[in-house]
Structure 1
């Protein structure tokens, strides 16, 4: 069961770091980003530190507001957010043809929400790879609670240097995860190496669309907000992403931006104009209430100093994502299916 209380949120901020270090950690994280004067090369050179700080700081917020699966999904009218997320995960399992007996890798699995759902849906054995010690610990706890410890394994490791032999997995997938890579080609090459010949890799990627104008100051501000709020070294275009897949050695089976024809906008859960009782914590009103609770808990020292600043970083993420979605310059729903040749 996902943690859901405000105290769980507060106690989880900072992950496994000393709670006295939270304030300085969020300051260091902010300084990596252009919004606070940082630059892309520094983020790429220090991606391990940046991404680990990000997920240590925000994981309890994600679990509090979003549940166990930290991703977006295209959505049908009348479909709840939770239903759309499950369908999104089932879709990738179906595209890969997952079934009992297959050995599968989830690249950057977080606390393992998709991993557990896909294991239940497909009966495949799934290993999750993640570089966050805190998320691995939390994910293993949730695997055990769900009774999935035998079919779901989690390994701490870097997706740029994966701790697996060549040709290990029958299928590999990544859900809004390889966007954290400092070098997406290098990341895809590692995935290619670990995948068995003739088998497939599927991913949902965060990308800039063809509508993004690098000379547009407003577009650049939106991009900077997304990078800051979501722990990204940079954001690639859909064309750059697909070219990297091919350069890594894969044959692209098909690719599509599912945000283009989603009946309900993918960014709706974060839209400040929306009110929802089923996902209230994600709404603008819900976020204001959460921020007030966090400030109170920080004031009475139940939450570590700096927790309010973590909340502010996530508010900037929501702002950037909604702007990126409305302007159609950003998508978290760029899907591709690729095959490693025999």
Structure 2
């Protein structure tokens, strides 16, 4: 029932179906163009997260990201470790002021704040996710050290040199321009301090002339609210252009002992992540269909479930072919003497 009442986020229930129509038309499968997605990225991403957030939380929990995983480690454990790894790479110390760029409903910022005893501000342009995040902060008892700011990460209403560290977890892939996004992050970060991120990227194995590769890329874009998925090399170049010194970078998916896409793989069954399995997704699909039929979930809910399922299948295929990664990691530093 919580899932049914949350579908659509801040979109009026009677307008969910038309929002699905408008969202789908941004994408290649429905005749959409990359430039249109980039120029209207804020509307597209907001519609996506209004429509998809309740499904994410229902199936995935509070942290909407993948993780490297050890044999014998649960999905939940791997997600926490992935967040702790980021905090350790940034060298976070108690009392520091940290910015989470594109924070979702705040699962990672709550975990990182508790792990490192820092104050974390989550920046997000989606009103529904912020409302949900504030309630979860209150329930977790971290509302004194964690807060949210509704803003566009391409033009942050924040002063220069105001944060001790900045991170982004599978979020800046929504930016229409990596350089513009990284430049804003550079501006608000204090000199000598670091920015770390996990980026969604196409790898060097991606062939733009391969129709199967292009189909996988397009399905991931529509299923995950992305204007365009950049190559790892494009992200690296944008970082350098923005003024960052790159300390190290690597596609962490390349040597994960357990494949990052395993929770979405139809051939895999797990009780600990049941809702992500084939049986669990079938259950969710039928549940949403029934809720929509009796009027408890808004019309269009099943279509949201459908494009999320297609994205899951393409993520698995992209992972198996090694043409896509959700965890191109980099740690970059803003020079002490900022000449930009």
| TM-score normalised by length of structure 1 | 0.98
Structure 1 position 33, deviation (Å) = 0.3
1:161 maps to what in 2? Answer: 155
Q: Distance in 1 between matches of 2:16 and 2:316?
A: 27
After superposition, what is the alpha-carbon deviation per residue over 1:13-46, rounded to whole angstroms, capped at 9, x for unaligned?
1101110010000111011000111110000010
After superposition, what is the alpha-carbon deviation per residue over 1:269-306, rounded to whole angstroms, capped at 9, x for unaligned?
00011111110100111111100000000000000010
1:72 maps to what in 2? Answer: 66
Structure 2 residue 198 is matched with structure 1 residue 238: no
Q: Distance in 1 between matches of 2:292 and 2:180?
A: 41
Structure 2 residue 65 is matched with structure 1 residue 54: no
Root mean square deviation, CA, Å? 0.5
| The one of 152, 167, 185 aligned to 1:173 | 167
1:41 maps to what in 2? Answer: 35
Structure 2 residue 65 is matched with structure 1 residue 96: no
Q: Distance in 2 between matches of 1:309 and 1:234?
A: 22
2:188 maps to what in 1? Answer: 194
Q: How many residues align?
A: 336
Structure 2 residue 13 is matched with structure 1 residue 9: no
Helix, strand or coil at the partner of 1:137:
helix
- Residues 252-291 of structure 1 mapped to structure 2, 5 A cutoff: 252-291=246-285
Structure 2 residue 26 is matched with structure 1 residue 32: yes
Q: Distance in 2 between matches of 1:166 and 1:316?
A: 41
Structure 2 residue 145 is matched with structure 1 residue 151: yes
Q: Distance in 2 between matches of 1:215 and 1:18?
A: 41
Structure 1 position 327, deviation (Å) = 0.5
Gaps of 5+ in 1: 1-6
Structure 1 position 66, deviation (Å) = 0.2
Q: Distance in 2 between matches of 1:60 and 1:204?
A: 23
Gaps of 5+ in 2: none
| The one of 250, 264, 286 aligned to 2:244 | 250
Structure 1 position 163, deviation (Å) = 1.2
| TM-score normalised by length of structure 2 | 0.98
